[in-house]
Structure 1
Amino acid sequence: MATRQQCAAALRTLADRLNELANDRMRELTPDRTIVCRIPDLGTSFSAELRDGSVLDINEGEGEDDDETAKVTFTVNSDDLVAVSDGSLRFSSAWASGRLKVDASMRDLLRMRSLL
C-alpha cells in the first residue's frame, strides 16, 4: 500500500503532466470543476480545482462543497494511483477494469475526455 505522501506526489505528477498538455483550445472547452480523488485503502481523499484547463490547489481532504460547481470524483486505491502516475498502469485500462472509478456527469466526461 502506498503512503499518503506517495499519493500526493502521484497526484501532483499527474497534474503537472495534464497542465503541460493543455492547449488553448482545451482550456476553452474544459469546465471549471472541483475534483476529488478518494483513496479508500488509506481512508483519505484529495481535492483540486480544475480551472481554465489546469489542475490547481491539490490538498488532502475534500474541501468546500459548492452547489454551483459540479464535482468530479475519482476513486482509486493507492497503489493503482501511483501506477497510473508512473505509467505502469494506463488510466484507460484502470478505468475499463474498474480499478479506477469516475463519478461525473456524462457532459463533464465528454468535455474532459482529452484530460482523461
Structure 2
Amino acid sequence: MARAALGRALVASGGTVLAIGGATMLVSTVSMGVARAVVMEKKKKLAVSCEVCKGRAKLLCDVCAGECAVKYHPFQTLALNARTPYCVCAMCGGTGDQTCLNCLGEGVTYPS
C-alpha cells in the first residue's frame, strides 16, 4: 500500500513539474514575441535606405560579375584542349547576385 501511495505521489509531482514548465515556456515565448514586435516597430521608424545596395538588398556578384558561371579547370596544366569548362559560381550559387553585407539583405540600415 505504501508503494502505491509513493507511486501516485511521484506521478502527481512529475505532472505538476511538467505543467509548470509548459506554462513558463508559453509565457516566455509570448513575451519574447511581443518584445520582438515592439523593437522591430521602433527600428522601422528609424530605418533609412541602404547606401551600398540602394535599398535592393542584393549586389552584383563580385566573383562572376553577374554571369552566374566561372571558367574552371581543376588541372589547368593537364588540359588537353584549349576549351575551359564553365561551372556554377560558388559565391552566388548561380544567381548572379549576393546579399548586401551592409544591410544584411534587409535593404535598410539603422543609424547608430
When normalised by structure 2's length, the TM-score is 0.20
**Larger of the two Rg values belongs to structure:** 2
Identify, as 1 or 2, the structure richer in strand.
1
When normalised by structure 1's length, the TM-score is 0.20
